[in-house]
Amino acid sequence: MTGAGTVGRVPFELGEEYVQDPHALYEALRADGAVRYVLLPSGLRAWLVPRYAEARALLADPRLRKGRDAIVAAFVRQYGPPTGDEDFPLTGHMLETDPPDHTRLRKLVNRAFTARRIEALRPRVREIVAGYLDELAASAPGESVDLIARYAFPIPVTVICELLGLPFADRADFRRWTAALLSVEDDADAGREMAGYLTGLVDAKRAEPADDMLSALIRAGDDEDRLSQHELVSTAFLLLVAGHETTVNLIGNGMLALLRHPDQLAALRADPGLLPGAVEELLRYDGPINLATLRSTAESVEIDGVTIPAGEFVMIALSGANRDPARFAEPDRLDVRRPAGGHVAFGHGIHYCLCAPLARMEGALAVGGLLDRFPELRLAGDASTRLRWRDSTLIRGLTELPVVPHA
């Protein structure tokens, strides 16, 4: 593929089939070239990068920007000047900034999110997992339960609510807002409601600090620098969304992969020491984030003979990169013993996932707990039972995962 610019270029349309099975399409795209101009289901046109080497290089390439000005410029190039008020309290968090703003925000948040604070959570995460395992154990023998709703979702949500200091009772609202904000049809009302809620919460914590992360974020900083009110609200939003929409799918996609590969499941049961490596393999094989978040080119960028002009969107396919045969031998084979390190399920470069240690801990405890507690765990239904994937190009996750915990 050659050429500069998008004028007259016909994008390759990504539809429902792609949302349901991105891996099949990535295989074809990887064979075809290092970059492909596509039309996403949301209507956005972007340059998709499906191979590992280019994906990893571009994740760390400063010519790709995430800051508001760069993203707005690319939108204007595609859709024309904006109409109405574009300012929004949930924007401008670290995943939507470039250095030096990103460096400053990440540093301040890191002060509250220390490795020690995360590790100190381990006993509590174990306890939370045990509580949900007990609930599954209370199901009738042979009864089918939805592992997403009953286990994979509530564990990370309970953890993030406790960590941030959010009332667990409000979780139905968080779930509705985060799901609405990440679906193919973006929802402005959900954004406004969530912003109002988080602003109230930040104000309440400021007035009455507690021993939680939101209070620590309010305190984080020094005499010279602190997070502003806007930054606190958007950071709380980012952490809440990340806490709701990612680890759930490490547990859900991971358990589906294991249950579909009984030999791998048996190997893991036989040797629990394989668990940390298996979590990496599950992240590689079918990770929770399909496409990395939106980036745009600050200048023209050449990839494998294709010139992407300045001001265009680039989507980096983490799920495509993680199954690139040039990087991982027999990539479509689940192998809990393979050295899966180097996958890009947590991203790469300056935006590498801030909470990867927490996500890994939750994933290992949740998957390990299930294997330990339910030796007869199996998928409900038969081989023809069709599972549905979430209506999102960012998130790769099941809507439901019916399983039978015990016979």
- Chain residues that interact with ligand HEM, rule: CB under 6 A: 94-95, 106, 160, 238-239, 242-243, 246-247, 250, 287-289, 292-293, 318, 345-347, 351, 353-355, 358-359
Cβ proximity to ligand HEM: between 363 and 404 the closer is 363
Nearer to ligand HEM, 22 or 287 (CB): 287
Least Å distance, CB 197 to ligand HEM, is 17
Q: How far is the CB of 110 from ligand HEM (least distance, A)?
A: 9
Token output for 233: 């609200």
What is the rounded distance in angstroms from the CA atom of residue 251 to the CA atom of residue 338?
19
Q: How far is the CB of 317 from ligand HEM (least distance, A)?
A: 11
- Supply the minimum distance, in Å, between the C-beta of residue 237 and ligand HEM: 10
| E strand residue ranges, 183-268 | none
Of 217 and 404, which has the nearer Cβ to ligand HEM? Answer: 217
d(CA 64, CA 339): 30
- Alpha carbon 39 to its chain's center: 21
| Cβ atoms 147, 173 nearer than 8 A | no
Nearest distance, CB of residue 251 and ligand HEM, angstroms: 9
Alpha helix segments (H runs only) across 43-170: 52-59, 68-79, 101-112, 115-119, 122-137, 147, 154-164
Give the nearest distance from C-beta 316 to ligand HEM in angstroms.
Answer: 7
Distance CA 35, CA 304 (A): 8
Please give the Cα distance from 328 to 345 (Å, whole number). 14
- Helix, strand or coil for residue 116? helix
